[in-house]
Every structure is written in C-alpha cells, then in structure tokens.
Structure 1
Amino acid sequence: MRWLFLFVLLAAPSRADVAPLARQDLAVLRPHAVVEDAVIRLSDLFDDAGQNAARVIGPAPAPGRRVVVEPAQLLAIARQNGVAWRPLTGSDAVVVERPGRAIQREEVVDLLRADLVRLGVDAGAELELPGFQPPMVPIASFAQLALEQPSYDVATNRFAATLVVVAEGMPTLRVRVAGRAVATAAVVVATRRLALGETVRPGDVRVVRQRVERVRPGLATDAGQVVGLALRRPVAEGLPFALADLSAPAVIEKNGSVLLVLEGPGLTLTAQGRAMEAAALGAVVPVMNLSSRQVVEGRAVAPGRVVVAMGSVPVGGR
C-alpha cells in the first residue's frame, strides 16, 4: 500500500504531542471522506484544516475502493501540516472512499467480438467470460478500451486477450481476459402468450440466438416461417415455435355458416350450408346443405365460401 510510504517518519508521540488540549481547540476529524480526484487532500481528512487545507497528502484509492487512515497516521499528518489535532479515542480514523463505475461486460464482449471475428470466430457465437471482474474507472471519466494480443484456438474454441483500460484520473489498467466461444443458432420466439388457433402477427415474434445444444430440431428459425400461420397449440411468451405446431389459418370455422357454390359448365348455383370441420384456404371440407340435409365435400376458397364441383357425390353416398 503506497500509504505506508507517507508515514515512514512516524514515531511514537512525544510528551509534547500528548500534552492536554481542550477538545474545543482540536480540528474536527471527518470519519468518512468521499474523493473523486486521484489524490487525497488535507481537507478530506479534517474540517478547519487551516491554510494547508488544499495540500495533497497522498494518492486516492483506486476507483470503487477505500482505505482506512488509522489514528497514528492521522496524528503524523496533523503534525506535519500544522493541524491542531490528536486522537481522543482508539477508534479515531477516517475511511476514504473513491466512487467508481464498472466497465459493462457488454462493452468488453463487443470489443472482443470485433477482434475475434477476424480470427475466425462466428459473429453470432456467444462469448463466455468465466470469472470476469469488471474493471472500475473514475465515476465521471471517459474510458477508452482496447485489446492487446488477442488469440483464438479453433480446436478448443478458447480465446484470450489483454484488456487495456485508459481513463483520466487513474493509471492505465491491463487485465487478462479469457473464455470460450459457443456456437449459437437463430430461433423464433413469441413476444407474448398466444392462444390455440390464433394467427401469428409480425409483432408476435422476434428472432433470438440460442446455444446450438439447446435448439432442438424442427423449430422455426425465420419469422417468415411463422407469421401468418395459425397455432395448433398455445405458445407462452419467450418460447420458440415448433413448425409442426403451425398450420394455415382457418377460413372456415367448424359448425360455421358457409355459402355453398355449385359450379358447372355455364351454371352456378348457391345454397346455405354448415361446415362440419374447420378448414384453411384451399383445403377440402365437408359441408351439410341445409336445404337437402346432404353432406358434400367442397374446397374452401374464401372466408365462409365453399365451392362444390358439379356431380359431387354426397359424403357417405353411392
């Protein structure tokens, strides 16, 4: 600790040092000091520090850290700087804290990704940084990040580099970072809970990347595979879409009223019917003719409209 060098001249107090002083004659100790500069000043330790209040006592702790100035150290500082103070109890100390902000993990990952892609890492890979401790910089400073000597092993998917952090008010910091690149795949997931039979809209989906080992076969990987289709089972928010659970949306509802259109050469007849099943556009659906009570099969051509070819045999007929 560099603080030790500030107090190498510290010795046991003499009788003059411990001569009685009225409590009201002593400078006021600041038990907790917060500094934002790179140095600690006399005024950070004592109120009413006198003409030397702005004098630099020593380096501040690293951003996000703290140091404790013990009574003996405080007494030496007071003597050397003409401050009328002596410890009144054994607990007279000052905690000096320097606030800081952590470099976000995402900033480091983005920086790593840019360099690692040039070394052969897939741009969509997930970068693992086990045990990563975010570097701290002064809270109001602008930090610049850079990488030195990035490396990547294709056989093991492991990478390493030296992270360089430059910020005003602190020495240049170099931190070794290492981890593994994990392959990912695109997956379409729901942005909200979707019910059975609901037609998927563009705002209902988003594409995310997940680790390959977590992506089972048969999942949608592109929004175009999902949007506009109907669900054969509900999908919870954040879960992926299985292609087998999607179908064309129904234009004919089961037991719904439909217009039966009988078409033949130069002839078109219509009748009211009731669909026996739900059907998507273009699908064949059985429909009961409400006039004849016969069930015939026709093709769904539009919502509520089924076309029956001339000469169609009633379902179950001979």
Structure 2
Amino acid sequence: MRGALLPLLLLALPAMAQDLAGPRPLVVVDQPMLRLGDVFEGAGARAAQPIGAAPAPGRQMVIEAAQLLALARANGLAWRPLSAQERVVVERPGRPLAREEVTAALKAELLRYGLDPEAELELGPVALPMIPPEAAPRLVVDSASLDAPTGRFAGLLSIGAEGMPMQRLRIGGRAVPTLPVVVATRRLSLGEIVGPGDVRLARQRAERVRPGAADRLDQVVGQQLHRPVGAEMGFQRSDLAPPALVERNALVTMQVEAPGLSLTAQGRALEAAGRGALVPVMNLASRTVVEAQVTGPGRVRVAMGAAPLRREAE
C-alpha cells in the first residue's frame, strides 16, 4: 500500500511547491512598474517580481483571465481561473496637468522673444497629459516663436515628472493684451462709500475693458457709488462721485458772505451733493430757490447777489 502511494506523492510535489495565490479584482498602484504582488495576493517571495509597465497616470488597464493564468504559471503560483470572466482592473491615480502650469512655462520662454510681461496667454486646443498626483512637472519649451503683430505663438513642450516618461507636445495660441482695472472685493450697494478693503487692482483682457473704467485705486477709494457693483466687477468712473455732504431734502445752513458782511439762513437742499458741488437750495423764509456751493456737512455758501432760480409755491 505504501509503495502504491509513493508515486502519487511524488506527482503532487510540484503542486505543493507552488504558492497558493488569488488575483485582486481591483488594484491601485502609484509606481510606473507593475509587480506580481500588486496583481496576486499570496505571491510570496515573488511578490516584488516586475511583470510589466503600470498604466499611465490617470489611466487603467484590464488583465484578462488568460493573461492572469499565464502570469501564475510563469511565476509558480497555484491558481487557475474559475471562469473566463475573471479579471483584474489596475488603476493608477493622476491629476491633469494644469493649463496655468503650461502657460507659466511658455511665458518664461516667450519673454525672450519680446512678449509683453502683462499679456495673457490663450492656449489653442491641446490634450494635456495626466501626471502623478504628488509629482512636480518638469516643463521645457523648445523651438518657440512669437509673431508680435498678431500675438500668435507656437512651441514644442516637453513634459516630464517622476514616475512617468517624457512626453512632447506641439502647442500654440495667442497672447492677449491686458489692462489694469479696479474691481470690487465684495458686492457694494448704491450710495456706499468705497473703502480700501472693498477694492483691489486686477488685470483684464483689453478687449473686455469698457471705456471709462477706473484703473487706479485712488480713483475709487473714498468715492460714493451711484449704482451697485457686484463682487469682482469693475468700476466706471462715471458711476463714482465724492461722498454727499448734503442729502436731498435735508435742512442746511445757508451762508451769505460779502466784504464785511456774513449772514446765515435756514434752507432745504433739493438735491444731494458732495463737497464743492453746486446744489439748488430753497430759503425756508422766502421760499426762493438759489444755487449754492456745498462747503461742509449740512452747510452751503450762496454768492452775494446770486439770481434766484425760482420761487417755490407755499
């Protein structure tokens, strides 16, 4: 009996020597090389064995049952597929290469060809690759050219990062002139006086800047709004004025001055106005409306001998 079992035991020895293993249905790798242990659990001492290239960052690959069986046999793993539908999906995380990263590298190169440092670069259609999430891209621009009259540019972009092969792309686009504009940092309401924290200086494409737009902070700060302004919106100089020191229908002190003479009277401002502005004021005693200049909060000055504008009815 023992002699009959010996040949069977000898036949079983190769299978016993194999490592028992099973494929992982979903694999996430962060290295450019795929290893046996990434695909099979229980790969034992062969787990670190390279078996091929991993997918490119942001991509995936599928290892079908037949390929898995071939890998298992080649590496001494005791595994057979239960069905032809068994597979392993291998994913590799990635992030899109940002267009801002590309334009920054382009601008640094195109400055050598006379690019306006304040110009905005508009890339043409281009499919930028994915790169490893934590990797810093290495971007090199070669064969750059710039047509100053049209702003058209072109170049050859080399893209590399740790854990991915170098890629080369032909890129092009247009350099767009920009202008300084003052924009609101928050929504501002009609009548608000603009403070230093309410505005910032930005640059916008020249083709989008309206004539009369404020382009300096001192044109806006301390001024009163004649219309609401939304956050990140620009200011038109025509919509700004010095803060009103006299409000519409407010009581004011009218001062009449002449050499050796100074008189005061009570009046009512018929319009709102800022310092130095002219405003119609009705004398409460005579109901006569005269033009006066705003000199301070609630105070106006009337020129001696100023002709009445009209007389208000009782």
TM-score by length of 1: 0.83
* Superposition deviation, residue 157 in structure 1: 2.0
Looking at structure 1, the residues matched to 133 and 210 of structure 2 have their Cα atoms a distance apart, in angstroms, of: 45
Aligned letter for 1:132?
A: V
* Superposition deviation, residue 78 in structure 1: 0.7
* Superposition deviation, residue 282 in structure 1: 1.1
Q: What corresponds to 1:125 in structure 2?
A: 119
Choose which of 169, 172, 177 in structure 1 pairs with 2:171. 177
* Superposition deviation, residue 304 in structure 1: 0.7
1:254 and 2:259 matched: no
Q: What corresponds to 1:54 in structure 2?
A: 48
Q: 1:242 to 1:166 in 2, by over 3 A?
A: same
Preserved contact between residue 50 and residue 83 of structure 1 (Cα < 8 Å) = no
Q: What corresponds to 1:162 in structure 2?
A: 156
1:217 is paired with a residue whose SS is coil
Q: What corresponds to 2:11 in structure 1?
A: none
Q: 1:45 to 1:305 in 2, by over 3 A?
A: same
Aligned letter for 1:118?
A: R
Preserved contact between residue 26 and residue 86 of structure 1 (Cα < 8 Å) = no
Preserved contact between residue 288 and residue 310 of structure 2 (Cα < 8 Å) = no
Relative to structure 2, which stretch is displaced further, 266-275 or 57-66? 266-275
1:267 and 2:264 matched: no
Aligned letter for 1:46?
A: F
Alignment length (residue pairs): 294
1:306 and 2:297 matched: no
Q: What corresponds to 2:90 in structure 1?
A: 96
- Show structure 1 runs of 5+ residues with no match: 1-20
Q: What corresponds to 1:287 in structure 2?
A: 281
Q: What corresponds to 1:7 in structure 2?
A: none
* Superposition deviation, residue 313 in structure 1: 4.3
Listed as ranges, the matches of 1:12-27 within 5 Å are: 27=21
* Superposition deviation, residue 112 in structure 1: 0.9
RMSD of equivalent CA atoms? 2.4
Q: What corresponds to 2:186 in structure 1?
A: 192
1:172 is paired with a residue whose SS is strand
Percent of aligned pairs with the same residue? 56
* Superposition deviation, residue 49 in structure 1: 1.3
Listed as ranges, the matches of 1:80-119 within 5 Å are: 80-119=74-113
* Superposition deviation, residue 171 in structure 1: 2.1
- Show structure 2 runs of 5+ residues with no match: 1-14
Q: What corresponds to 1:226 in structure 2?
A: 220
Preserved contact between residue 278 and residue 285 of structure 1 (Cα < 8 Å) = yes
Preserved contact between residue 66 and residue 84 of structure 2 (Cα < 8 Å) = no
Q: What corresponds to 2:22 in structure 1?
A: 28
Aligned letter for 2:269?
A: A
**After superposition, what is the alpha-carbon deviation per residue over 1:102-155, rounded to whole angstroms, capped at 9, x for unaligned?**
322211111111221221222222211132333322233333222222211224
Q: What corresponds to 1:10 in structure 2?
A: none
* Superposition deviation, residue 301 in structure 1: 0.7
Relative to structure 2, which stretch is displaced further, 62-71 or 231-240? 231-240
